Amino acid sequence: MIGAGVVGLSVAWLLIERGHTVTLVDPALRDGQPPGAGSSAALGLLMGQIFRRSSGRGWRLRQQSLALWQSWRTQLEQRGHTVPYWPGLLQLASNTEELTAQARLAEQRQAQGLPLRMLDQVELAALQPELPAAAGGLLSPADGQIDPLAAMQALLQDALHQGLDTHAAAVLQLERRTGEQRWCAHTEAGSVQSHWLVVAAGLGSPGLLAPLGHQRPQSPVLGQALELQLPSGCNAGGWPGSVSWDGVNLVPRPQGRLWLGATVEPGLSSGAPEALKTLRDLGGHAPDWLQQATVLRHWQGLRARPDASPAPLLEQLEPGLLLNSGHYRNGVLLAPASAAWTAEQVESSEG
* Domain of residue 217, CATH code: 3.30.9.10
Position 222 in a domain: yes
Q: How far apart are CA 153 and CA 155, in angstroms?
A: 6
Q: How far apart are CA 302 and CA 36, in angstroms?
A: 6
CA 173 to chain CA mean position, Å: 27
pLDDT of residue 200: 98
pTM of the model: 0.97
- The burial of 62, by beta-carbon neighbours within 10 Å (0-12 exposed, 13-18 middle, 19 or more buried), is given as buried
pLDDT of residue 284: 94
Position 53 in a domain: yes
The CA-based dihedral angle spanning residues 226, 227, 232, 233, taken in that order and rounded to the nearest 10 degrees: 100
pLDDT of residue 301: 92
Q: Which domain holds residue 123?
A: 6-350
Q: What angle do CA 324, 326, 332 make, to 5 degrees?
A: 80
Per-residue pLDDT tens listing for the chain (351 residues): 999 999 999 999 999 999 999 999 999 999 888 777 888 779 999 999 999 999 999 999 999 999 999 999 999 999 999 999 999 999 999 999 999 999 999 999 999 999 999 999 999 999 999 999 999 999 999 999 999 999 999 999 999 999 999 999 999 999 999 988 899 999 999 999 999 999 999 999 999 999 999 999 999 999 999 999 999 999 999 999 999 999 999 999 999 999 999 999 998 778 899 999 999 999 999 999 999 999 999 999 999 999 999 999 999 999 999 999 999 999 999 999 999 999 999 999 865
Helix/strand/coil percent split, the chain, to 5: 35, 30, 35
- The burial of 112, by beta-carbon neighbours within 10 Å (0-12 exposed, 13-18 middle, 19 or more buried), is given as exposed
Number of domains in the chain: 1
